[in-house]
């Protein structure tokens, strides 16, 4: 059960990362979504730029440890999702670059929304 919950946290984590990067696109259709997305994007950029650890990561690790697992073993999650969230070659400078990319992508999205309005 713990391994299943850990896998669910990984999928939730990935969904949140996708929302952080591109969730502003929802604001094209539903303007109030910006009130949800902007804080999420700010959080994602801060986590990357300042090197913080997202609270979902320790929760996932705790669940895996409780389930007796030590690695990321799920066939889909371990093979396809985790390498996206935790790339092997992620250096501090690349992490900051990802944070800056989040800011740039979202500035472009919201700039287009403002121009469209």
pLDDT in tens, 14-64: 899 889 988 999 988 898 999 999 999 999 888 888 888 888 888 888 888
Range of the domain at 54: 2-116
pLDDT of 75: 47
Q: What is the mean pLDDT of the chain?
A: 83
Tell me if 28 sits within 8 A of 34, measured CB to CB.
no
Distance linking the first and last C-alpha atoms of the chain? 48
- Per cent of the chain over pLDDT 70 is 87
- Per cent of the chain over pLDDT 90 is 20
DSSP character at residue 105: H
- Reported pTM: 0.73
Q: Which residues contact 72 (CB under 8 A, 6 or more apart)?
A: 10, 64, 78, 82
pLDDT over 50 (residue 83): yes
Q: Which residues contact 116 (CB under 8 A, 6 or more apart)?
A: 28
What is the domain count for the chain? 1
Q: Which residues contact 41 (CB under 8 A, 6 or more apart)?
A: 20, 21, 23, 24, 102, 103, 106
Tell me if 102 sits within 8 A of 46, measured CB to CB.
no
Distance CA 58, CA 62 (A): 6
pLDDT of 1: 85
């Amino acid at each position: 059960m713990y391994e299943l919950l850990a896998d669910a946290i990984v999928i939730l984590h990935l969904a949140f990362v996708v929302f952080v990067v591109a969730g502003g696109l929802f604001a094209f259709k539903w303007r109030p979504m910006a009130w949800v997305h902007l804080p999420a994007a700010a959080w994602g950029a801060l986590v990357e730029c300042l090197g913080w650890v997202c609270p979902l990561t320790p929760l996932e690790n705790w669940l895996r440890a409780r389930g007796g697992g030590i690695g990321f073993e799920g066939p889909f999650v371990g093979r396809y999702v985790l390498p996206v969230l935790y790339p092997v070659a992620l250096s501090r400078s690349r992490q900051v670059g990802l944070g800056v990319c989040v800011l740039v992508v979202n500035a472009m999205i919201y700039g287009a929304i403002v121009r469209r309005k």
